[in-house]
Amino acid sequence: MRHLYEDFGLRLRDARRKAGMTQAALAARVGVSRTSVTNIERGSQHISLHMLFALALALGLKPAQLLPSETTPEEDVTVPRELRVWESDEKAMEWMRAIVGTTGQGKNDGGRGE
């Protein structure tokens, strides 16, 4: 299974190479070190939302083009442990299930499956 950030990093690397840009050039455009770009491409450095937009803009892409595909099966991309804080809190999980629904029906119905 590939990690979410590794998948993002591969997409970033491929887009950067396609744009004919070095890691150093991309780093200069977004205001980070070349080492940070290397680590992001490896999936070992997590990025913030504003960095996603900065990277996409620097490469002439829409941010969504760097994200894992919606058609990627869930089992192929794992969510990092630090993003799974809800799992340990049953009340929070109940709330989350109510918001997003668990039946897969009616995504816009507040999770009621109507």
Q: What is the pLDDT of residues 47-105, one digit of tens each?
A: 999 999 999 999 999 999 999 875 444 444 555 555 555 555 676 666 666 665 544 44
pTM: 0.61
Nearest to 18, CA basis, from 75, 67, 61: 61
Which CATH fold would you assign to the domain 2-66? Answer: 434 Repressor (Amino-terminal Domain) (1.10.260)
Query: d(Cα 96, Cα 39) in Å, to the nearest integer?
Result: 32
CATH 1.10.260.40 intervals, the chain = 2-66
Q: Which residues contact 74 (CB under 8 A, 6 or more apart)?
A: none
Query: Chain-centre distance of CA 10, in angstroms?
Result: 11
74-85 burial: b if 16+ Cβ within 10 Å, else e: eeebbeeeeeee
